[in-house]
Amino acid sequence: MAGECPLHKNTESKSNRLTLGQVDFINCLPINIPIEEKVIEINATIKSEMPSTLNKLVLSGKIDIAPVSSLTYLENKDNLTPIGNLCISSNGPADSVLLFSKYPIEELERAYIALSFASATSNKLTEIILNKYMHLNVTFKVENLKLAELPKDYSAALLIGDHALFEFSRGPRDLFLYDMGSLWKMHTGLPMVFGIWVVRNEVMDKYPEEVRIIAALLNKAKEKGLGDMFDTIVKKSIDKVGLSKDFYRTYFEHLSYELNEERKKGLKLFEKICLELQEKTAIKV
């Protein structure tokens, strides 16, 4: 049929070879849920993983399009291209990038800090905040653990996404809590971009029209998720981690999904600082 969208053909097409990655976290539900519930139909193989796993799958060529950590994009710009001006960012509190500390943050000199196994960007952000802006000499190590399992010799732990929300949902405890998005905003005056939707360049070169269509559909999903499906998104969020409806309404208000000029400035500063720090010990994720 003339004008038929290749992503909606029932027969085998080039687009069927594309794999779309999704971050399996609440902060991506406004884009994920409209696609999962077929409100927005994308004819691609969907694979949901945590951010650090998606990073590896994209770089290894096993996923074609996905949101990757900003740090992963910045370190692989020769191989990855942003699509759809889509990102995950905050201009202040991110609410799910949290440092749980036994002591006030300014007292963490020479402390051991556990970083998130699920993250790349948030780990580097924590290094920047504590080393560059707070001038603290601390030791970082990536750990796969829950807050209750934090070894005694660790003074603080960074948790992101649903892991951070779950620990926050457990209520008051004898810990100090720091939002890394807020600290970035306080020290730089700019938004923090945590992740960016990208396509592998070889996929863009081979299937440019399919990539364009998928990017447009991802944006339509975002509009649906933040629009007439927003109540569904909030309900799904509560089902995943039992915080209040009011909390999640504020949570999504704090997040932005459009990579506009101000967020690009924040991303550029983050890249500049990462380059300045690369002579120092790198955080391995």
* pLDDT at residue 47, rounded to an integer: 96
Note whether 133 and 81 are same-domain residues: no
Structural domain contains residue 6 = no
Structural domain contains residue 181 = yes
Note whether 101 and 172 are same-domain residues: yes
pTM for the model stands at: 0.91
Q: Is 214 exposed, middle or buried (0-12, 13-18, 19+ CB in 10 A)?
A: buried
Residue 280 banded pLDDT, cuts 50, 70, 90: low
Residue 278 banded pLDDT, cuts 50, 70, 90: confident
Structural domain contains residue 223 = yes
Note whether 109 and 186 are same-domain residues: yes
Task: List, in sequence order, every beta strand (DSSP E) within 30-127.
Answer: 45-49, 65-69, 80-90, 97-101, 112-116
Q: Inform me whether the pLDDT recorded for 21 exceeds 80.
A: yes
Note whether 163 and 197 are same-domain residues: no
Residues 179, 98: contact at Cβ < 8 Å?
yes
Domain span at residue 25 reads 13-89+192-275
226-249 pLDDT, tens digit per residue, is: 999 999 999 999 999 999 999 999
Note whether 85 and 199 are same-domain residues: yes
Structural domain contains residue 5 = no
Examine the fold and report which residue of 191, 222, 257 is the final residue of a domain before the chain moves on: 191
Query: 115-132: string of b/e by CB count within 10 Å (b at 16+)?
Result: bbbbbbbbbbbbbbbbbe
Note whether 46 and 104 are same-domain residues: no
Percent residues over pLDDT 90 in the chain: 85
* pLDDT at residue 219, rounded to an integer: 98
Q: How many domains does the chain have?
A: 2
Residue 147 banded pLDDT, cuts 50, 70, 90: confident
Structural domain contains residue 48 = yes
Structural domain contains residue 206 = yes
Note whether 161 and 219 are same-domain residues: no
DSSP state for residue 102 in the 8-state scheme: S
CATH number of the domain to which 84 belongs:
3.40.190.10
